Amino acid sequence: MAKPGTPLFLERGSYRQRRMMDAVKLIAILGAGLWMIPLLWPTAEPGTAQAVPLSQALLYVFGVWWFLIAIAYVLARKIRDMPEQSDETEAM
């Protein structure tokens, strides 16, 4: 345990890796939120706004799906390319 008054040192590499893992976990929440948007679109009822065609809704859903795949791929590549230990700890 750290002594009172001493700052807690977090290694830069592990801190960044943890934040990247947090971003990967947030992809699921982002995807769920984006997939809920079509629930807010108007439906075909008399006297209301025109309904969104099913073809546009499907394009939206698959577009979100591909977007999430692309984000996951980019984050996975960044996490894989991160070094396990930083140069600062090896010099000590």
Picking from 24, 26, 35, the residue whose alpha carbon sits closest to that of residue 65 is: 35
The predicted pLDDT at position 49 comes to: 65
Q: Mean pLDDT across the stretch 88-92?
A: 48
The predicted pLDDT at position 90 comes to: 46
Give the confidence band of 82 by pLDDT, cuts at 50, 70, 90.
confident
Q: Mean pLDDT across the stretch 9-36?
A: 84
Domains in the chain: boundaries = 12-35+51-84
Tokens (6 digits) for 65: 């799906």
Give the confidence band of 7 by pLDDT, cuts at 50, 70, 90.
low
Does the structure show a pLDDT above 80 at 2? no
Does the structure show a pLDDT above 70 at 78? yes
User: In angstroms, what is the C-alpha Rg of the chain?
Assistant: 22
More confident residue, 15 or 71: 71
